[in-house]
Amino acid sequence: MRIRSAAPVELEALRGIERAAGEQFRALGMAAIAEDEPLPVEELAEFSAAGRAWTAVGADGSPVGYLLVKRVGANAHVEQVSVHPSFARQGIGRRLLETAADWGRGQGLKNLTLTTFGEVPWNAPYYRRLGFRDVPADALEPGLKQVVAQEAAAGLARWPRVVLSRPLA
């Protein structure tokens, strides 16, 4: 397994990974999440062109996971991380997150942040095991408040959401 920059020809495959990963939400009564469309190829291409999209590739060179990151204030903010369920529990998500952390350090940023579902076993509890800590709503910097507001407007606040952060120093 290796992590590398996402190639433009792989972007549709990344959407397929996210769809497959999203299917797990059906069992939790979160069908709307499973049915939510991944980012369009055009938006994925913007992340890729800016050097902020990485893919985990298997032995045959095919993508099995990916991560997108953007700068939000003084943070490297994970926009999306998905691993195909066939490759879950192999440390791929952790390696992708470390790649984003390395990028953030290289940019001189202070924290690696993300938003996720607070009660989904493979979401917030997983990230907490990797050293992320909850950021209280009253401690959010403006950029993260905006991310939370955008997610709420998109309907994600129907289920408990949390903002998590891990120092990059």
Contacts of 5 (CB under 8 A, 6+ apart): 48, 51, 53, 54, 55
Q: What is the pLDDT of residues 65-111, one digit of tens each?
A: 999 999 999 999 999 999 999 999 999 999 999 999 999 999 999 99
**Model pTM score:** 0.95
Fold category of 2-167 in CATH: Aminopeptidase (3.40.630)
E-strand stretches of the chain? 2-5, 53-57, 63-72, 75-83, 111-117, 133-134, 161-167
Task: Band the pLDDT of 169: cuts 50, 70, 90.
Answer: confident
DSSP state of 168: -
**By C-alpha distance, which of 104, 97, 103 is closest to 80?**
97
Average model confidence (pLDDT) across the chain: 96
- pLDDT at residue number 109: 98
| pLDDT > 90? residue 130 | yes
| Mean pLDDT, residues 39-59 taken together | 96
User: Residue 56 region, left (φ>0) first, then alpha (ψ -120 to 50), else beta?
Assistant: beta
Q: Where are the domains of the chain?
A: 2-167
In tens, the pLDDT along 138-160 reads 999 999 999 999 999 999 999 99
- Whether residue 111 contacts residue 72, with contact meaning beta carbons closer than 8 Å, is answered with no
Answer yes or no: is pLDDT of 137 > 90. Answer: yes
Confidence of residue 126 (pLDDT cuts 50, 70, 90): very high
